[in-house]
Amino acid sequence: MTAPILRRLADLRAKTADWRRAGETIGLVPTMGALHAGHLSLVEAAKQACDRVIVTIFVNPKQFNNAEDLANYPRTENKDAEKLAPYGVDLIYVPDPDQIYPDGYATNVSVGGSITAVMEGPFRPGHFDGVATVVAKLFLQTSADKAFFGQKDYQQLMVVTRMARDLDIPIEVIGCETVREPSGLAMSSRNLLLPEEALAKAAALNAAMREAAAKASAGEPWEPLEAAARQALAEAGFGDVEYFDLRCAETLEALETPSRPARLLAAAWLDGIRLIDNIAVPQLNS
Ligand code: PAF
């Protein structure tokens, strides 16, 4: 059976108030829809950890820095509800736009500092303000105890964790493993926009990342590894590689070697679609 879809905040609050009175815990899986196996793994994690689970679907205009990207973003609400049916989700919150941004809305949540100053920050101006603002609202609207995010958007996960901590929102943010296609391609709603032949090429991103990470962990210096990866991606048919960075997993500071817990993070364009991915880089034995 498909879960009830609520579109108004008052209806959502009436439900969550009942659950709270019964002493039940609430898990939240925020999404922009076009659900795939990655989202469904978050739902499974939420079901295991909480008595009640809310999935939200809201294509948040404030986090798009490109009007065409917003217009093209896949919207598949009926299919999404069908995909969620076997998971026993308690409700799907698909807020009408005025439930998030009512007339005269004027507040912005902005996470500053080093975690937003790099990678997605400069390449997508305003993106993280949009994410932090909508996620803060969803945390407050749902009053969830735990929220589940994919590690695929590693920087986003850091931003929402910091935002909740800085604003004292009583919620635990949980990062879950990236789910991948057999080819290694990270699952993403944007993959739906890739033509069939580009899907095969897209796997080159993760392959280049795994190769560079393995060599960095074996002690090879980063700069030539990055250059070789950029070359491999160009040969595989990728366009601009916006970043292909080795960074500290906790601060996102750039690293020359994985001398402490590290992450390799990349963003690259393929056939007009921007793909991002990240993987853990095993620490160099010093
Ligand atoms: O990762 C996403 O789908 C979105 O950025 C999120 C967290 C649902 C906020 O709109």
Supply the residue whose CA is at minimum distance from atom 1 of ligand 1. Answer: 31
Alpha carbons 9 and 96: distance in angstroms, whole number: 9
Domain membership of residue 58 (yes or no) is yes
Q: Which domain holds residue 208?
A: 189-280
Same domain, 41 and 98: yes
φ and ψ of 56, to 5 deg: -105, 145
How high is the pLDDT of residue 1? 84
Alpha carbons 165 and 160: distance in angstroms, whole number: 8
Alpha carbons 43 and 27: distance in angstroms, whole number: 9
Same domain, 147 and 207: no
Average pLDDT value over all residues in the chain: 97
Same domain, 103 and 216: no
Per-residue model confidence as pLDDT tens digits over 167-200 = 999 999 999 999 999 999 999 999 999 998 999 9
Same domain, 170 and 211: no
Same domain, 44 and 151: yes
Q: Is 219 annotated as a binding residue?
A: no
Same domain, 257 and 155: no
Last residue of a domain, one of 109, 141, 176: 176
Same domain, 100 and 242: no
Q: Is 48 annotated as a binding residue?
A: no
How high is the pLDDT of residue 234? 98
Q: Give the pLDDT band (50/70/90) at residue 226.
A: very high
Q: Give the pLDDT band (50/70/90) at residue 5.
A: very high
Side chain identity at residue 211, one-letter code: E
Last residue of a domain, one of 155, 176, 197: 176
- pTM metric for this prediction: 0.97
* CATH code: domain of residue 154: 3.40.50.620
Instruction: Give Cα separations from 124 to 41, 118, 130, 202 (angstroms).
Output: 27, 10, 11, 21
Last residue of a domain, one of 176, 202, 223: 176
How high is the pLDDT of residue 284? 87
Mean pLDDT of all residues in 34-38 = 97
Domain membership of residue 128 (yes or no) is yes
Q: Is the pLDDT of residue 146 over 70?
A: yes
* CATH code: domain of residue 248: 3.30.1300.10
Per-residue model confidence as pLDDT tens digits over 229-284 = 999 999 999 999 999 999 999 999 999 999 999 999 999 999 999 999 999 999 98
Supply the residue whose CA is at minimum distance from atom 8 of ligand 1. Answer: 31
Per-residue model confidence as pLDDT tens digits over 52-68 = 999 999 999 999 999 99
Q: Is 37 annotated as a binding residue?
A: yes
Same domain, 172 and 201: no
Mean pLDDT of all residues in 3-32 = 98
Q: How many domains does the chain have?
A: 2
Same domain, 265 and 131: no
Same domain, 143 and 39: yes
Mean pLDDT of all residues in 18-45 = 98
Domain membership of residue 57 (yes or no) is yes
Beta pairing partners, 174: 148
How high is the pLDDT of residue 109? 98
- Tell me the three state secondary structure of residue 163: helix
> Which ligand 1 atom sits nearest the alpha carbon of residue 59?
10
Same domain, 94 and 220: no
Q: Which of 15, 26, 27, 39 is catalytic?
A: 39
Please report the DSSP string for 215-227 in residue order.
HHHTT--HHHHHH
Same domain, 15 and 84: yes
Q: Is the pLDDT of residue 131 over 90?
A: yes
**Distance in Å, CA 31 to ligand 1 centroid:** 5
**% of the chain exceeding 70 in pLDDT:** 99
How high is the pLDDT of residue 286? 54
Domain membership of residue 213 (yes or no) is yes
Domain membership of residue 286 (yes or no) is no
Alpha carbons 264 and 245: distance in angstroms, whole number: 6
Domain membership of residue 183 (yes or no) is no
Is-catalytic flag, 39?
yes
Domain membership of residue 165 (yes or no) is yes
